[in-house]
Structure 1
């Protein structure tokens, strides 16, 4: 039987995965009216404002001081996490302009394999299940993304690079939230991501934004629900979950992204694409199940 903290962590991460998966839809819609960097900047700025309000109530309720909630190591860790988040979210946002949200969701989900592999370099143990999962996921990604002419879609390639950033994000988040306040870390990382994204957007994209109804709704959903709520839930949940376990549950965002793509954008896959997605998902599951049997 799972212990209560682990059960809570699994539920919170599943909710996070559902939100992240549906966020791909908002990301896709917003690209009709603005560039990727300004969109990331606006939604993470909105998320930061919401988190600031939550943080102020949290500080007041617990009678804490700013120095207690924001010690130097929390600030440094939050800034580093924010830089990695900026890289991951913007590469993903750029990539989604050139691929489907189904492909984007599944390729992003490859961080579930990358987390334990990168963990080898920081002396985290891995096993045969992880390697089998990695092989299946790699073959699956190839079937999903490589064309008959042996080329890979630009959006898929950019999204694959973002998956590495997400892997580092999960690993570093797991380290930070077991030592520092997760809400404080969440606020700092989101504020850093908003600031860097806007600074990049001003010279590269300008502030040319068309606030249509779909775009406003996309900003509100991705800013409040996805940024302020889901990223905070992720960090709270990772207090009670090892990074590899967190990665497998969070990677289910790929499934929810595919569902949203089919329901709202009428996206579909070829038979080879479905096989590819199936192999990727099987690789994700095998990597975690095998590891659990070894560790429990």
Structure 2
């Protein structure tokens, strides 16, 4: 196995670990939101994450070129607005429908890569996109109606897809620490602005809520953003998106493990299709474009 192949495998494993962490947060978020508003929760979570990242990586941020700083802010704004739209949409639709519609970034990502970057997407990757979408539907849907919540969530999925494509173009392994910190700061500012209507964020009310928020800020927030930024320096955007669709598989697994859900045939079939999609896209031969094609200036 070549050095590039080994790094690609490590990046894929890193994204899988990241989505496993994201999947573990669903049970925690449900409990925290019984005591905090959505805007307050997101603001505290991402402010803590941003503070931690700047404490660790302020030197890397200081040495980043201005162009990368601007890109980091743009990436953070995309992600932060996506978080708010997804959460507002969740207030109007069921969590299962929200999970499916959010997962549609797996469809938007190759479309955006084709339209914006003129990238050719192999037929096997489109097949994997179809398998992942069907798997998400089996995992998530029990009835479906289109209302404002669906449209808000679909808009968030579009922004997540754009974030994945842009991060794949702009991320460099040697700047992952600084770029992650800048993104997190921009996300925190966006979420803080959402709390301005009631005078700023309210803090978690008790020790249990603080522990949950700290886990989601430091592990599922800062750690996951760092892993995604590094991994996408080594993976095409569409591959990354398909690997990341394992999030609802992990969420279902944690829900069953903690007794908040019951294992069903839909979970097994849907999870199997998502994993099959990931396996299929990993089997697709990798073309090695020149470095300037991977990270062209836009």
TM-score range, shorter chain: 0.7 to 0.9
Q: TM-score, normalised by structure 1?
A: 0.81
1:38-53 alignment runs, 5 A limit:
38-53=40-55
Q: Quick one: which of 63, 78, 84 aligns to 1:84?
A: 78
User: Distance between the aligned counterparts of 1:112 and 1:158, measured in 2?
Assistant: 17
Aligned length: 284
Q: Quick one: which of 267, 272, 293 aligns to 2:285?
A: 293
Which position in structure 2 is the counterpart of 1:237? 231
Select the structure with the greater relative contact order (CA < 8 A; seq sep ≥ 6). Answer: 1
Which position in structure 1 is the counterpart of 2:125? 130
Q: Give the gaps of 5 or more residues in structure 1.
A: none
158 and 279 in structure 1: CA distance in 2 versus 1, 3 angstrom threshold: farther
133 and 242 in structure 1: CA distance in 2 versus 1, 3 angstrom threshold: closer
Write out per-residue CA displacement over residues 152-211 of structure 1, whole angstroms, 9 at most, x where no aligned residue: 587666444322222111111111113871211111111111111111212168644551
23 and 144 in structure 1: CA distance in 2 versus 1, 3 angstrom threshold: closer
142 and 195 in structure 1: CA distance in 2 versus 1, 3 angstrom threshold: same
Which position in structure 2 is the counterpart of 1:31? 33
1:17 aligns with 2:19: yes
1:247 aligns with 2:241: yes
User: Distance between the aligned counterparts of 1:99 and 1:21, measured in 2?
Assistant: 17
The answer (yes or no) to whether the contact 1:95–1:104 under 8 Å persists in 2 is yes
Q: Quick one: which of 177, 191, 194 aligns to 2:188?
A: 194
Which position in structure 1 is the counterpart of 2:10? 8
User: Distance between the aligned counterparts of 2:254 and 2:199, measured in 1?
Assistant: 28
Q: Quick one: which of 176, 179, 183 aligns to 2:170?
A: 176
The answer (yes or no) to whether the contact 1:143–1:275 under 8 Å persists in 2 is yes
The answer (yes or no) to whether the contact 1:74–1:184 under 8 Å persists in 2 is no
The answer (yes or no) to whether the contact 1:106–1:255 under 8 Å persists in 2 is no
Write out per-residue CA displacement over residues 131-169 of structure 1, whole angstroms, 9 at most, x where no aligned residue: 333444444555555555x52587666444322222111
RMSD: 3.1
User: Distance between the aligned counterparts of 2:131 and 2:7, measured in 1?
Assistant: 31
The answer (yes or no) to whether the contact 1:75–1:188 under 8 Å persists in 2 is yes
The answer (yes or no) to whether the contact 2:19–2:244 under 8 Å persists in 1 is yes
The answer (yes or no) to whether the contact 1:112–1:284 under 8 Å persists in 2 is no
1:46-65 alignment runs, 5 A limit:
46-56=48-58, 59=59
The answer (yes or no) to whether the contact 1:99–1:155 under 8 Å persists in 2 is no
Q: Which secondary structure does the structure 2 equivalent of 1:124 belong to?
A: coil
More moved, 208-217 vs 150-159:
150-159
Q: Which secondary structure does the structure 1 equivalent of 2:195 belong to?
A: helix
Q: CA deviation at 1:262?
A: 2.2
